[in-house]
Structure 1
Amino acid sequence: MSTETDTAASGSATGPAPTGPVQEVGEIFDITRFGDYTQLTMVAPGVARAFAPGQFVAVAVGGPRTSMLLRRSFALYGVKPGGEFAGTIQFVVDPHGPGTDWLVGQRIGSRLNLVGPLGVPFPIPRDAVPAVLVGGGYGTAPLLPLAERLLALGSEIEMIVGASRAGRLFGELQAKRLIGKVTVTTDDGSAGQYGQVTDPLPSAIERLGAEIVYACGPMGMLAAVGEVARAHAIPAQVAVEEAMACGIGVCMTCVLPVRGADGVSRFVRSCVEGPVFEAGRVRWADVGTLPADLYGADGMGR
């Protein structure tokens, strides 16, 4: 199966697409609550114009006099490219600290400083291939524009959407409208099937004859999805949810141990080399540690 990293905008845009991320001030157009989450829709034509599924935006928080210097990063979806005075993006905020609490407290019309789109997008097959998409919590968000691109290629797809409980689900209704074939799971059985996303994944792969799995969600879920894909001898492309404090590769807080094509393991930055990785190359058991065989580990441990 051949793939390409498609960096073109998912729609038409006025003027040439930028070759990289842009910094712009966007305006909040709509605020919608979904369970535990807050969805922000923003007018941000520069970010929208160059978007590809899997990329994210880094948002300045706290206002112009804040002591919170680092941006907060959010996966993009619901992107509608447009002209100079149009173009919207959507992202989902799960408030869990001062920065995200401030962000969900903003109002329609508030203006936010944005940098994006950032990161490596999902690789898109050149031809139609059957695929299963697996989202955990708000990790479903970046899979929705991916699903649109795959459907446009003529790919047959199914989606599995899961969370710990009903209030932590996101995107299941949008996915059902878009795809139709959607399985919902919750750890406590409060919505959909009781269990985890990896429970129905093997049967979905076999039923569809899937040639690839795409996933986004918590790290433990991604590791488990990768194992299921490996057992079925198909690749899994996963978008990690590592904390990305700067979003541009400077702060080094989002590093992961990843095996390169040369077989050598190195720390790579999720925000620059990712957030999308081939699951089989991420050393999931070593995340958060300094493996002794990692390239340069002898110097880092001093």
Structure 2
Amino acid sequence: MKLIIDIGPINVIDIRGIDLNLLVSLDVLLEEANVTRAAERLHLTQPALSTQLARLRRIFGDPLLIPSPGGRGMTRSARAVELTLPLRDVLKQLEAVVRQQPAFDPFADTRHFTIAASDQAIAVLGFQLMQSWAEHVGPGVQLAFVLAEQSTCVERFERGEIDLLIGSERMIPAWTKARKLYDEHFVFVQRKGHPRGLAPLDLDSYCALGHVLVSTSGGSFFGFMDEHLQSLGRARRVVLSVQHFTLVPELLARTDYVSTLPSRLATRYRDVLDVFELPFEARGFSFFAAWHPRNQADPGSVWLRERLAQIAADWQGESR
């Protein structure tokens, strides 16, 4: 380990030859003023420590330890005396740095977190995270949500602009670290008081109704549910296509259109929507939180991931 350090008012020396082992050995040598005892403390042989002392003498341009006038032991040179206290202080500081474990205190630290997510993830998980934010952080911790764009997530991760990405498995880059938050399935929704009534939904009715489709890429009238229906030899009547999930509940509440939404999102709007199981089998998906590998052990990132995972685990449809 190479170390560049200021050890006090000494002459300019070539610090490229100084490493941590040499400085530790010098500290013990100056304390003991005896090569044999210092070698025992350092668990080195006496010849090995003598070699290090010779290197230190060349580096500092000073004998550092000289034979005692009495013929027993060694005496510190004036330069060595000058070095003793600054060197001891620096080594203690280095030890503190090495031993210090990184930590994050959400009530005392200052930190800005940015989460990239789809609008449905923000509506479901993000809303509850924001709702409880003041209970779990102090004034120095800020949280921002931005819409996830698959084409830019990699670059934003690399630049450190986002801390977490929340999305389905299709949105998560393979090289990231990820944790599953929950499994999701789709449900059919209509407004309360819809002319269709509350009878169980059959496939014919589902296909005949006017549907609002969410196309996250924008503008498509053929989506995930249409793939399922196509495999059954059926098709539904898609009337409107929007790019954001959170537009749908308000639109349905004011029209007789219907839609197919993720269950957790639909349940959040149960005061204006009736929810039904689909009249056919449809694959669900899983939501994940992903982060850059460099943040794997970062205490702040770990804390944020745990908060999000706890919210996902404790989620209740009636909590708004």
Q: Shorter-chain TM-score: which interval?
A: under 0.3
- The TM-score, its normalising length taken from structure 2, stands at 0.26
Give 1 or 2 for the bigger CA radius of gyration: 2
Structure number with higher strand proportion: 1
| Larger RCO (CA within 8 A; separation ≥ 6) | 2
